[in-house]
A = this chain, B = another copy of it.
Amino acid sequence: MKRLSLAVIGATGMVGGFFVKVLEERNFPATDLKFYASPRSAGKKILFKNKEYNILALNDDIFNEDIDIALFAAGGDISAQYAPMLAKKGVVCIDNSSKFRMDASVPLVVPEVNADEAKKHDGIIANPNCSTIQSVVALAPLQKAFGIKRVSYTTYQAVSGAGQEGANDLQRGLDGLSHQKFSHPIYNNVIPQIDIFTENGYTGEEMKMIKETRKILGVQDLPVTATCVRVPIFNAHSVSINVELVNTFDVKDVVQVLQNASGVVVMNDWAKGEYPMPITADGKDEVYIGRIRRDESIANGLNMWVVADNVRKGAATNAVQIAELLI
């Protein structure tokens, strides 16, 4: 077995914990594993394939370690502090933060869509935004088969997208306590703001969906708009996608293209009341697509409903899939 040393940075966070879980589930062929977290978690233990590992404190000592691939799930500041230097030392860094996603020299990769981009890395590969990942998994096969003219996203995003603190905030609401993480109560409410507002009145999350979709689909001026909304559910994001295709299509051909697409599960038998929901996708690695129907209000218009586990396919699973491309 070839030597392969893998490090997980931020292994004790909610998303980092799923990185570890998904590596284990997918039987990732590392010969050496290192789990890093902030100094306050150092010394704690982590169980991986029935073997106990010590959590290591993340500091400059990491630059002296022999690591092949580092998965970053500790936020943008940690990525900015450690990834470029590790990359220079030959470590391939797969970063879940938004820090490097729009850097021209950094591939932004969804393996089902643009796996070849991963090979072009210069030491850092970015894992896209959660809502974007599931959306482009649905759009890329349509882009290939029919061409895409314009995309309009409207999202229903779970609190797990804001990490453990997001989940805690919904739980606080359920327990009758005040919110702490979000700007407003999320229990019994929906909040049409994810991330901070940018100059044009769009939120950071909306701009991520717009820009990252263009980069991943490889069309720098693709017309995309987005409205991103937090809903009071614990896990799995839903995205209502309204898309104008370039060529004419039969809806049954769209369904077939999606059924044949990698990483996709089509649940579209509406006559039987079948469609995906957050409870469908929670805990799964695939992207679920349903409500596929013609939008009669515009030429070559299509509506579809795309659901995925944002912590898995939207973060951990996608990052581990990228790592698998490297070996």
Contact = CB atoms under 8 A, between A and B. Distances in A.
A297 B223 contact: yes
Contact of A305 (B192, B225, B291): B192
A207 to B, nearest CB: 11
Q: Which DSSP category, helix, strand, loop or mixed, fits chain A's interface?
A: mixed
Interface residues of A, number: 51
Interface stretch (A6-14, A81-89, A196-204): A196-204
A275 interface: yes
Interface of A: 150-152, 154, 156, 174, 183-185, 188-193, 197, 200-202, 223-225, 227, 229, 231-234, 238, 240, 242, 251, 270-271, 273, 275, 277-279, 290-298, 301, 303, 305
Contact of A298 (B223, B271, B293): B223
Contact of A225 (B188, B191, B271, B301): B301
Number of this chain's copies in the assembly equals 2
A190 B240 contact: no
Nearest to A184: B277
Contacts of A224: 297
A31 B83 CA distance: 77
**Which of A188, A200, A279: most chain B Cβ within 10 A?**
A188
Contact of A188 (B191, B278, B290, B292): B278
A215 to B, nearest CB: 16
Contact of A154 (B189, B201, B240): B240
A145 B21 CA distance: 55
Contacts of A200: 293-294, 296
B270 A197 contact: yes
Contacts of A297: 150-152, 223-225
A189 B277 contact: yes
**Which of A156, A223, A238, A291: most chain B Cβ within 10 A?**
A291
Contacts of A151: 297
Contacts of A150: 297-298
Closest 10 pairs (CB-CB, A-B): A223-B297, A201-B293, A154-B154, A225-B297, A225-B295, A227-B240, A189-B279, A154-B240, A197-B270, A192-B305
Given A154-B240, A279-B184, A291-B201, A189 B270 contact: no
30 contacts: A152-B152, A152-B295, A152-B297, A154-B240, A156-B156, A156-B231, A188-B234, A188-B279, A189-B233, A189-B277, A189-B279, A192-B238, A192-B240, A192-B291, A193-B275, A197-B270, A197-B271, A200-B294, A201-B270, A201-B293, A201-B294, A223-B296, A223-B298, A225-B295, A225-B296, A225-B297, A227-B240, A227-B305, A232-B232, A232-B233
